[in-house]
Amino acid sequence: QQIFATGTPVLQKEEPKTDRTSGETRLIFVTKLPIRDSSGRIIGLVGFGNDLTERRRAEEGLIEERNSLRTLIDTLPDYIYVKDTQSRFVLSNTEHARHMGAASPEDLTGKTDFDFYPKDLAEKFFADEQEIMRTGKPLIQKDEANTTLKGHFCRVLSSKIPLRNAYGEIMGIVGTSLEITRKKQMEEELRDVNGKLV
């Protein structure tokens, strides 16, 4: 009646409906448009609805899955990040942001290693990543020298794999790094001790 009175259409209005067979509530998006005669007078309406229940459930499932994944990667002690084809950060976990000296993972978005590391080190990381994206061959557990933003030397065990879209095209890389500085120091100390005992 509102459409007849005002001529204003109803567009994608969310209307829950109960399925008479199953008793399940379905989410219907309804659109209703006025039908006019040659003089412009409203003489009826046309309406249709889209059942978007499954789409809404899928969206909610994706949100839940994303939140679970976010919780997981922010709990791990590894540095975890995703970069695009230009080696710009798209995603980082909390531990990686801390290592990079950023206040939050979001502060890394759109930036590259050149914004954080000395040029020679950033160039090395960039070259490795571009080679991975060119060839599709991953880099697995590479022992790398690193430098923190405060200038402290550290060692990390890095893995970088190509990130592909649904068509198999490489759209970036996923990287993980585990700091092994203390482990390497302990190994060296143990070698020194063994050397003195021989």
Give the least confident one: 30-34, 127-131, 149-153: 149-153
Q: What pLDDT shows up at residue 72?
A: 80
Mean pLDDT for 22-38 is: 90
Most confident of 71-80, 114-123, 132-141, 173-182: 132-141
In this predicted model, which residue has the larger pLDDT, 132 or 185? 132
- Tokens representing residue 127 in the block: 């070259």
Q: Are the beta carbons of 177 and 95 closer than 8 angstroms? A: no
Please name the helix (run of DSSP H) or strand (run of DSSP E) that holds residue 116, with its range, or none: none
Is this structure's pTM higher than 0.85?
A: no
Q: What pLDDT shows up at residue 193?
A: 67
Mean pLDDT for 24-43 is: 91
**Distance in angstroms (rounded) separating the CA atoms of residues 118 and 156:** 16
Please name the helix (run of DSSP H) or strand (run of DSSP E) that holds residue 120, with its range, or none: helix 119-135
**Distance in angstroms (rounded) separating the CA atoms of residues 87 and 129:** 7
Helix, strand and coil percent figures for the chain, each rounded to 5: 40, 35, 25
Share of the chain above pLDDT 90, in %: 45
Mean pLDDT for 65-90 is: 88
Q: What pLDDT shows up at residue 152?
A: 63
In this predicted model, which residue has the larger pLDDT, 71 or 194? 71
**Distance in angstroms (rounded) separating the CA atoms of residues 148 and 181:** 12
Give the least confident one: 34-43, 66-75, 128-137, 155-164: 66-75
- pLDDT band for position 137 (cuts 50, 70, 90): very high
